[in-house]
Structure 1
């Protein structure tokens, strides 16, 4: 049973195996960009397992989907 908190961006970053401090999240967002029209899982900076997780989260409308969508918006800003 997954008891991970799916309501905070830090939790998503931890799930992706990335540093999850506020500073690390801000640094990631400021150094990575997602072009308009590109699905978040297609971004070239993801490892295959990260891209797969992101794709599954969206396709299955999982508990993570909202945070994945929020991350996509941040990466396009």
Structure 2
């Protein structure tokens, strides 16, 4: 896994093994949402590996944090 530098939302989707083109991200965001205080990594639409990556990114305050935070925000709209 790459662990240095700035990571865009597109990079995060690619890292998670998801289609990372803008249109695919828009479609994902249209289909998935977080409710209230639901944690991003606990959402039912992640695989175990994706869930683990998201949890570690936040807990380790990794350079993926900004992209993960952006995804969290976008899933709440």
What is the TM-score when the length of structure 2 is the normalising length? 0.92
Structure-2 residue corresponding to 1:21: 21
Residue segments in structure 2 that go unaligned for 5+ positions in a row: none
4+ residue segments displaced more than 2 Å: 1-7
**For this pair of structures, how many residues does the alignment match?**
77
1:10-62 CA-partner distances (Å, limit 9, x unpaired): 00000000000000000000100111101100000000000000000000000
Once residues 16 and 5 of structure 1 are traced to their aligned partners in structure 2, the CA distance between those partners, rounded to angstroms, is 17
Residue segments in structure 1 that go unaligned for 5+ positions in a row: none
Q: Quick check: 2:12–2:64 contact (8 Å CA) kept in 1?
A: yes
Q: Does 1:71 align with 2:66?
A: no
> Does the C-alpha gap of structure 1 residues 69 and 23 become closer, same or farther in structure 2, counting only changes over 3 Å?
same
Once residues 21 and 50 of structure 2 are traced to their aligned partners in structure 1, the CA distance between those partners, rounded to angstroms, is 18
What is the TM-score when the length of structure 1 is the normalising length? 0.92
